[in-house]
Structure 1
Amino acid sequence: MNKVDIVILKIEKVFTASLLAAISLLVFVAAVTRRFGFPLNWAQDISLLCFAWLTFIGADLLMRADRLISIDIIYNRLSGRAKKILSIIYDIGMIYFLIVLVWFGFPLVMQSWNRLFNTLNLSYAWCTLCVPVGSLLMLSTVIKKLIQDIKTPAEERGVTT
Structure 2
Amino acid sequence: MKRLAKAYEKFCAIELAFGAVLLISTVFMLTLAAILRTIGFPINWGLDVALLMFTWSVYVGADTALRDDKMVNVEIFQQKISPKAQKVLKLFIYSLILIFLILMVYYGFKLAYSSRNRTFQGIPFMSYTWATLSIPIPCFFMIITTVLKMKALVRENSSAAQSVQNEKQ
TM score, norm. by length of structure 2: 0.85
Shift of 1:150: 1.6
One-letter amino acid of the structure 2 residue matched with residue 94 of structure 1: I
Unaligned runs of 5+ in 2: 161-169
One-letter amino acid of the structure 1 residue matched with residue 140 of structure 2: L
One-letter amino acid of the structure 2 residue matched with residue 135 of structure 1: C
Q: Does 2:13 correspond to 1:4?
A: no
Percent identity of the aligned residues? Answer: 32
Tell whether the 8 Å contact from 1:45 to 1:119 is kept in structure 2 after alignment: no
1:54 aligns with 57
Runs ≥4 in structure 1, deviation > 4 angstroms?
none
Q: Secondary structure at the match of 2:60?
A: helix
1:159 aligns with none
Q: Secondary structure at the match of 1:122?
A: strand
The answer to which of 18-27 and 69-78 deviates more is 69-78
The one of the two structures with greater contact order (alpha-carbon pairs below 8 A, sep at least 6) is 1
One-letter amino acid of the structure 1 residue matched with residue 156 of structure 2: T
Tell whether the 8 Å contact from 1:109 to 1:125 is kept in structure 2 after alignment: yes
Listed as ranges, the matches of 1:66-85 within 5 Å are 66-85=69-88
1:90 aligns with 93
The answer to which of 80-89 and 61-70 deviates more is 61-70
Inter-partner Cα distance in structure 2 for 1:48 and 1:115: 17
One-letter amino acid of the structure 2 residue matched with residue 152 of structure 1: E
Shift of 1:119: 4.4
Number of residue equivalences: 155
What is the CA deviation profile of residues 24-50 of structure 1, one whole-angstrom value per residue up to 9, with x for unaligned ones? 111112122222332221111111211
Listed as ranges, the matches of 1:105-120 within 5 Å are 105-120=108-123
User: Bigger radius of gyration, 1 or 2?
Assistant: 2
The answer to which of 110-119 and 94-103 deviates more is 110-119
Paired residue for 1:146, among 150, 153, 159? Answer: 150
What is the CA deviation profile of residues 84-122 of structure 1, one whole-angstrom value per residue up to 9, with x for unaligned ones? 111000010011001101111111001111111224220
Inter-partner Cα distance in structure 1 for 2:128 and 2:61: 20
What is the CA deviation profile of residues 49-70 of structure 1, one whole-angstrom value per residue up to 9, with x for unaligned ones? 1112112111111111111111
Inter-partner Cα distance in structure 1 for 2:14 and 2:48: 24
Unaligned runs of 5+ in 1: 157-161
Choose between structure 1 and 2: higher strand proportion.
Answer: 2
The answer to which of 138-147 and 28-37 deviates more is 28-37
Q: Secondary structure at the match of 2:126?
A: coil
Q: Secondary structure at the match of 1:152?
A: helix
One-letter amino acid of the structure 1 residue matched with residue 131 of structure 2: C
